[in-house]
Amino acid sequence: MKFTFTSIIALLLLFILNPENVFSQVQNEANISSSDMRNMLDSNQIPLHRATNVEGSPYMFDEFYEGVVELTNGHTTQPLQIRYNTHEQSIDFMSGNLAFNVEGENIESFHFTANGKEYTFIKGYDASRLSEDDFVEVVVDGEVKFLARHHTAFFEDSASYGSATKNNIYRSDVTYYVKVGDKSPERLRSLNKRRVMNNIDRFEDELEQYADQNNIDFSDKEDVARLIRYCNTLGE
């Protein structure tokens, strides 16, 4: 009995002294697996390989990468293999050796790492050609945010003369936005110096100097992201 009593006291002390670890363990156990998500959302199985008579792709990346999905019902997945369908605005995920799809209306946010870079997508922004239900990539977070909406259109071509084969085409595009403070996101009709600088609208001299010294290419997403990250350090 003495051993049992001592063990109980030890467990109580562990909980009192380390509550964060205990809660963290409970939270991790609450994260759902790919099988849980498949059953919970009645996900549809999809083929892993696309038809050969297709030009382009409906995916941001054709490959699956490890990521985490936050659902609108409050559940968050364990790390699993996912890919972002920019045409249907949905997520494909692997469960065992099979691929399934979950519709975007069931997803709050998701993030994954591809080729050594982390990508984060969320909803909730309203702007020109952007609704609160659309996913946007948070390229840069902070007082000045740099956002990107990835979208893909599908065109079904007619059959060639004398052939029943159809050539289906996916055309992908990205629309960029800058959000400053509490203001609504402003769409950049194109990535160029004038539009980027006008929409940031602060620290003009410092940003001009940084752009010149670092050879910023305003037509390049990663260079614009570097500039905006620097801008956010100026306001700290």
* 52-95 per-position pLDDT tens digit: 678 899 999 999 999 999 999 999 999 999 999 999 999 999 99
Instruction: List the beta bridge partners of residue 209.
Output: none
Q: Kind and range of the H or E element at 68?
A: strand 65-71
Label residue 124 by pLDDT band (50, 70, 90).
very high
**Res 41: pLDDT:** 85
- Locus of tokens 């620097």: 230
Range of lowest pLDDT (34-38, 47-51, 78-82) = 47-51
Of 121, 152, 123, residue with least CA distance to 139: 121
* DSSP for residue 106: G
**Res 100: pLDDT:** 96
Which residue did the predictor score with more confidence, 236 or 165?
236
Asked if 109 contacts 123 with a C-beta cutoff of 8 angstroms, the reply is yes
* 208-236 per-position pLDDT tens digit: 999 999 999 999 999 999 999 999 999 77
**Res 211: pLDDT:** 98
Share of the chain above pLDDT 70, in %: 82
**Res 236: pLDDT:** 77
**Res 203: pLDDT:** 96
Label residue 96 by pLDDT band (50, 70, 90).
very high
**Res 25: pLDDT:** 43
CA angle 39, 41, 45 (to 5 degrees): 70
Which residue did the predictor score with more confidence, 48 or 69?
69
- What average pLDDT does the segment 12-26 reach? 48
* 130-157 per-position pLDDT tens digit: 999 999 999 999 999 999 999 999 998 7
**Res 23: pLDDT:** 40
Asked if 132 contacts 118 with a C-beta cutoff of 8 angstroms, the reply is no
Which residue did the predictor score with more confidence, 169 or 165?
169
**Res 3: pLDDT:** 43
